[in-house]
Structure 1
Amino acid sequence: MTSRELTGLLSLDDSVPGRPLGQQASDFAWRMAFGAIGWPWLLRSLWGGRKADKRALMDRLGLAHDALPHLGSWKADTGFLRHIVTQIERLRPRIVVELGAGASTLVTAKALSLNGGGRLLSFDQHEGFVDATRHWLAENGLTVDIRHAPLEAEVEGWPGRWYDIDALPDQIDMIIIDGPPWSVHPLVRGAADSLFSRLAPGGVILLDDAARPGERLVARRWRKQWTDIDFALETDGTKGTLVGRRNINGLVPLAANDNGRTWRHAARAAGIAALIATGWIARGAMGEFPAAAQANSFVDEAAASHRNGLLRQAMRSQVESPKLDRAEIARSTGIQLPVMPSGWAVRDVQLYPTSDGPAVAVSLTAPGGEPVSLFAGKAETPAEAKPLLATRSGESIAYWEVGDVAFAVTGAVAPARALELAAQIAS
């Protein structure tokens, strides 16, 4: 939980009367061990981010600059709050469940009101704080279903005590995890996966304090146990945010399981060779070999547009449009497509609707005869022009960005070949 007021160095008392002494001793030992290891991250948690970033966030939401008078001292930082707003703007969720109320509750509720409504269910273990937060939201013209949920439950496979949560909707579009505090147990937030079976396809999970050692162990277990959810650690805030997204088509992302780890090792050498051969490293766009793409919805849309393009080409009744007018596309959509390299053939050009506005899908035949697609649209997350890899339905997808436009080359080719073809277009 987090407050709009200044908070002390120590968290509020979360002890439960009658808890067995053995469990109390075990929890204390874990806290001492992780406190000794993780004190740099805990100290960093006391800073809430730059005041300029907080003002920019308030302007984005149309809130007064003093709507969040104090951040830091265990509160959600501006980086985590910004992730909440960005995901709500992209996803427009109908049902959001929040674990640990406070600053994130205000930001989430306001973002929902600006993006199609949506219902927020928020839970916190301190009854007095629940009442205070409810009044705080009302002062800002917001109404939220915020409930008292004492730490009296246990979740099999996870230590510590968990929220005693009452009835939840069968399907949740977004889960925000900002509690319980680490002082209950360093791994206590792992029990949030008791809600993951309710996460809708394409739904999002946001875990605060994800750079801490305890949360890193939690994320590692989640990746193994929930192979249909793609998790990525974002480090743009002071404490790190773990972003998880359930695969839309139910397929297991290649980078999210043990097979994906094997694939990454096998692809590393071939991929780096392809990048060197095509000049991507030489042009300064590449640091180390990329992991799976983090722009999940864009990658899913790129894969879907590729399959739709192949389907159109197989149907006699569908008229293809092989004329690629880059100037007209730029004027109409704001998307500046690259010039197609010599030896590439354009088969079809179509506008493709997305949640972030129109995108352009170009069906191509590569010089080697491979049918591939170039998909271009609004960038979802900054990738600094670095090529990233993903797979969908056995197809390789090479993703990169130029300014505020994202690009993806998709085809039934080897990962190294996808990078090579993407590099040809990007250059």
Structure 2
Amino acid sequence: MEIQCKDPRKHYLTIIRSCQLTTSQIELLLQIINKPNYQDLIISFVLNYITQRGDKNLIIHTYFFLKFTNTQVQILARLISYFPLVFTGEILATLYQDSGYYADKQKQTSFSHHLLLQASNYQRQCLLSQSFQPDKYWMKFISTLKQFKQVQKINKKKPNNQLDIDQTQFKQQQLPYHVVQLEQLKLDAILCQLCYDVYYQKDLNQNVIMKNFLEKAYKPRFQAFIQQKIMYVCISGTWHLADTVADADSQPVQMILNDQKVYVHQGFLQVSQFIHDQLMILTPYLIANKHIDEVIFTGHSQGAAASFILQQMFIMRFPQLKTQCIGFGTPPFVSKGFILNSTQPNRTYINNNDCISRAGILYQYINEIRKAYPGFQTEQYSEFVEENYGYDDDFYTPGDIYWLKDNNIVPITRYGVFIQVDSFLNFKDHRLEYYIENIKKQISNIK
């Protein structure tokens, strides 16, 4: 027997709005449902049920909704395995009552029996499967939540003032290209130092809630910590041999940004996806419970590229959340469309003759262009590439670009710094300690 629901989404939204949920929780659920991303929907209800003693009816309605939207059996089984006490005979009366929303009155009894039978079958398949293991995602959430609770206890006793920066001075629009604010430079100097510390597996501070030091391809070192309702995500660049796999995986791949097709470096996209999946373990919980209202992404080299992609992932996932992205030694890794569709503050620093920040796919053509167009600007180079090689054939550097040239900061309108360097084997200016040194010099100059 198979009973269909005419409009499960409409009814499910009505149920959600009638439950005792906070406004932020409802908004978060609406975002997930509209995506749709039902794995995240399940995790959200796990969080609500465990941390806030959610009622069983909400879980049952979630099952109804997933079933009538043709959700995969594996996801239904996962939901049931999280809540084995919900899907038992004791909720039969509730099923009788609620089934009227989905089927004719005369079908209520058979529908309720059918649903219970399906639930028990899915649960049995999940638990008896030879490949069944405790869900790593769920275990990771529990451990991360414990770490976050521990951070909260520490901060009540001894607040951490390492990042004493007034975030209210950063508005939700791009800074003028010719203006470098002192507060901005101070923040960026601190973030640059934090990126340096991530390389050496140091805990950045007592507020760290998540970190990764695996030496595997597409899984870079990163740490995330929270302070003053801001989550900072600091990502290292290429450190060990496995990191070079992502660097070399440079095929342009499509990414949808603001309903537009853009192109990004395939390896860096996979790196970003790994970090995104780790952050999603706890981020919906942090937002729903108002523990954070802004996220700042920062990184060096490969980590800088991942930071920019992560920022856009978060903007699409949590449009109400403020974000910033600050990159150091960012390589060219996105198409022009990615840059033009970026909507929240982001900036990148390029140090003197840093060769990595000039390593675009068509770098070899620059000398020929320079001969043909003496004194050409970045925009002219971009137009030349687009006209002669196609929209997606070159990579550019995103963000408001600041070139740390000797003792000055030279603002670049967009796309990158294409001044020729002597050698692509000289990585001195790409090293993070020289970024730290030069940014601090600029702070002294402004003072």
Q: TM-score, normalised by structure 2?
A: 0.29
Q: TM-score, normalised by structure 1?
A: 0.30
| Structure that is richer in helix per residue | 2
Q: Which has the larger radius of gyration?
A: 2
| Structure that is richer in strand per residue | 1
